[in-house]
Structure formats: C-alpha cells, structure tokens
Amino acid sequence: MKHWVSTRTGFGSAMGILLGFGLAVGAGAAQVLRTPPPDDDPLIEQRLERAGTPTHPISPVERRAMARELQDLLGRVESALARAEVAQIGSPQALLATGDRLQVARQFLRDLPQAVQTQPPATVRAHWQELRQSLWRDYPRELLTALPEVRAIWLDRGTIVAAGSEAGLRRVFDRMAASGVNTVFVETINAGYPIYPSRVAPQQNPLTRGWDPLAAAVKLARERNMEVHAWMWVFGVGNVRHNRLVGLPANYPGPVLTANPQWANLGQNGALFAAERKTFLDPAHPEVRRYLIALMQEMVTQYGVDGVQLDYIRQPRHDPGQEFGYGRASRAKFQDLTGVDPISITVNDRSLWWLWAEFRARQIDEFVAEASQALRQTKPKVVISAAVFPWESLRRFHRLHQVWERWVARGDIDLLVPMTYVPETSRFVRQHVQPVIEGVGKAPVLVLPGVLIRDMPDLELLDQLQAVRDLPSSGYSLFAAEHLRASFESVLQDNSRSQTDRVVPFRQPFVAARSRFRSLQQEWQNLLSGRSLWLRGPLRDRFQGKVTEIDRLLAKVEQNPTAANLTQAKQQIDELSRSLDVWLRLESLERPYRLDTWKNRLGAITAILRYGAAREERNVRTAQHDRPL
C-alpha cells in the first residue's frame, strides 16, 4: 500500500500507526534556560548572580528554599563522612570537629523560622551562606573514587587541537589520569570533520592535519588503563563558529553538505542554517544513515575504540517561526505515508502538526536503532552512549524531537549522558538530574549526569559530585577537558586504595554491584557498632539477616549471572529498600536525606544489575547467532 491516507481529512489511521508506538512523556520539569553564554552553547545555564547580600524581607518561599538547600547539603556531608569512616579517611579529631559544625547547622535550621521574624534579613542570609561554605570545607576529599563508577570526561576538539601532537596530548591524558578519569569521550567528529584521516568522510579537520589524534588517544588511553569512546556529532555537520576557526565563510555549510547538498535538513522557509547557527543532515535520508553508520564502523574497526557516543542526535532546535526537519527525503517520506506535503501544515492543523512532529522524532528513533544494531554486530562489546538534553519530555519532543526514553527502553544505548550543565547543586539535582533518572524508569541503561566544571569552585565541584553519588546513578561525565585545572586533581584524584576502584560498571556490572553493596553493608555495620543506627533486638537481627542474604545472592550473581540468580537478587534488594522506612523509622525522622541516599544507592545497584542482565541476554543472542550450523 503506497499511502496510509490520501487526503488531509483521512489522516486518522496514519496517526494511529505512528503514535501507536507510544510517545514517552516522563515526569519532572525543567525550567526555561537562561540567556546562553557567548560560546553559543544552548545548554549551559548561567550561575545565579547574587549582588551582595539582599536586605529585603525573607519570604516563606525563600525560607523553605534556604532550609531545603541547607538540609540537603547537611545530608550530603553526612553521607560522605559515613563513607569516610568506613574507608578510614580523616583523623578522629577532624571528624569530631566536623560533627560539631553539623550540629551548629542543624540548630540553625531549627531556629530559622524564628530568626526570620526577629533578625535582620541580611544577617540570616549571611549566616546561612557561612554555614554552607563551612560544610563544603568539611568534605573528605579523598573519598570520591571509593566506589566502582564511571568517571568520564569530554575531551573537546579545542583541547585536542591545542595539544598539537601525541606528546602534547600525552600531557592532557596525564592530567585526566591524575583526576581519576577512566572513560574519555574524545571529540572525534565535529561539525562534519573527523580529527583523523578518514576513508569515509570528505576530509579531515584542517586543524588536526599532520597527525592522527584518534590513534594517539587510543594508544595513550591503553597505557593508562582508560577507555576511549569516539564522541561524534551525528546530524550536526556545519558550524558558523568552526568556519571562523578554519578561515571559511560564515555561510559554509560544512564538508558533508558541500559534497552532498541533497542530504540537507532544511527549515520550513528553506533555510539551511538553524537558529543555533549550525547545519544538519536529514535523518530520513537512507544515504545519510548509511554514511553515518559507515563512519562509526570505521572508528570501531580501524581504531578499536571502546565505544561510540552519539551527540547532536536530534533535529535542529526549533525556535518560534524556525521549524526544521523539511529535508527532501523527510518531506517525500511523510507525503508517501500520508498523502500530505508537510511544508503546507501549520500549527493550526493540530492533529496533522502532531503527526508531523511525531514523524520527525521517529526518524531519529529509527536511526538510533539501526546504528546500535550495526555497531553491535561489528563489535559486540562496543559501548554506545548518547549525550542528550535533560529537558522535560514534552518540551524536548516539540523543540528537538529527541525522545531518548524510547532508546533506553529498547536497550539501544548503554549509557545515557544528560547534559545537566547547571552550576548550583540544588538546581542541578532537582531540576535536571532527578527528572532524567525518573524518565529512565526501569530501562536497562546506566545514567551519567554531565557536570559542568567551567568556572566552578573546587568545593562546589566536590559537592556536586557527592550529590551525583547520592542518587541512583552510575558515575558522572565532566564537561570538559579544556576546563580541567590543576586544583581539581586534589578533588578528583584516584587514590587507588583497592582494585575495586578500577572496576567500571559497564564492563564488570556484577563485580561493581557487589562491591557497592559491600560498601553500604560496611557503612551500616559501622553505624550499628557505634550505636548510631537505632536498631535493637529482633529487628536488628532481621535487618542484618536480610543484608547478609543479599550479599550472598550478589556473590552468586557475580559467579553465575543466570536470569534466576539476577531476578532473586533484584527482588531482595527491592524488598530491603521498601523495608527501610519501617526498620529505620527513627532515622527517617531525624535524617531523611541519609535514608533517601541509602535507597538511592540500592537503586543504583539494581540499575547496574538490570543493565548487566540485558547485556548478558544480548551476549547469549549473539553467541547463538554466531554458532555454526
């Protein structure tokens, strides 16, 4: 059947077929982004500027926000200190002094409602800020690599170009290694240019001619027991900013579209450059898909990269009056399916407009599935990640047609790396990271929140990383290497206390899961031994029995990850998590953040097991497919 429908009035069945796959609309809200900085990055939110200490009265809303932020910070410091005691980090005197400061902060929280009524607003705000600074200083810095986690960084093109040679790049890799990085997302294809001499792409980036940065990166990473994942701009293939760097006119569309103009993604008005001053490929074009997959396979086979990261895996960002997605192939394909040329659809045609929006999103979905399948057939152990927008799902659907919920639900990618570039920790967690994790649900994927380190104070970086570790995530990714200053090394350094520190969850998920649980088990045991955890008699025995049973099950999974063993372990962990509120009722009243953190850490272990189970199932299918007849 050539057409699903032939007229505007009969498009209902087409909508049913397209939308029948389901549009994932997750929970959580992301606020409208502030004015982007001069570097043309549409994602980085600006730091909230505070011109001195305000003197206006503290409203009930501000008071609650102050209390919540300080309460969360208290919880993060307590969480870090509990693990520091397990790892025997820090002197007893230092820990005691920190404990005193925690008590001062708790007293401030108790007194805050009255203080707002009786003290000058500037005094209350200044005291609140001083307490935050003192708590930041109390973090045990050596703790950040105590658990198996992904510690990634984006190695940007600018840093690679500035390195200039393998010797220069070696110094960059030394800095990253000193900061505990175990996974490097190397910006391999940017604005349509590969940094290496490609047999697939039209030309190598002029800024890296004369050497092969990808070959050098793979070699240097191997020497330092690090992984290299090729970070590529997928559909974004031209950039006004890059044109200036290579001495080309601002309107140069990039080497790929210069060679293949019929591949262009166009605006509804025929524009080639999107509002973000970049050009894009039409994801519906079959030749575009073949070209991009061939590039990925080249990097995997010729260079042996450990993974591929998909960036710009979306439609151009739609601003009012600047809709994109009208490439020749997209228009023809949509018209073949519906009988309607989308160029004539307006937002007033609500049903047709939604159908057209869903079609554009579906082209991205289809490509992710095709690329995933092709890469895993080429190299079964390749790790596929995607750098994605953390925006609320409906807004992301309409402005980018990026519905990553579908990709993770299908298991197309291994790592979801949301670009959560927000300076302040509370905004970072509540407005961006938590909604993404909720959107993932029970999909077999590991979440690595993106952490913006540009202009970030050392102690705030420590706070943000602690926040990540207190959530059900599997690590983090730092943006970016160009901002990795020397002072960060004392915050991020790998103390190499044990080999479990070098376990990467996406490579050894079951080892990582058990190691993380044993750390949690030891923390509980320390608190019980010091009578800091209120559990007595039979309740304590039941709690310890459950913990011991889970450790035994995780040992079985590590040795023999069968579906039955994995199911049993996940069920027992979920049961323990649900029971914590009952068993630790007093803890939930006095230290709710700590209890939430324990649940999150159990959730992270379950997520790692879920990912490992999906990987095992995929390996079994691959082995059966490759078995000789």
CA distance 229 to 304: 10
Token digits of residue 197: 């001499």
Q: How far is CA 14 from the centre of its chain?
A: 34
Token digits of residue 29: 């809200």
Residue 548: burial class (beta carbons within 10 Å; 0-12, 13-18, 19+): exposed
- Which pLDDT value is given to residue 40? 44
- Which pLDDT value is given to residue 487? 87
Low-confidence ranges of the chain (pLDDT < 50): 1-40, 51, 144-145, 494-500
- Which pLDDT value is given to residue 609? 98
Token digits of residue 180: 């505990």
């399916």: which residue's tokens?
A: 337
Quick check: 227 and 184 in contact, CB under 8 A? yes
- Which pLDDT value is given to residue 24? 36
User: If you ran DSSP here, which 8-state letter would residue 428 be given?
Assistant: I
- Which pLDDT value is given to residue 594? 86
- Which pLDDT value is given to residue 589? 79
- Which pLDDT value is given to residue 132? 86
CA distance 520 to 203: 51
pTM score over 0.85:
yes
Quick check: 513 and 554 in contact, CB under 8 A? yes
Quick check: 411 and 380 in contact, CB under 8 A? no
């095992």: which residue's tokens?
A: 616
- Which pLDDT value is given to residue 314? 98
């450990």: which residue's tokens?
A: 306
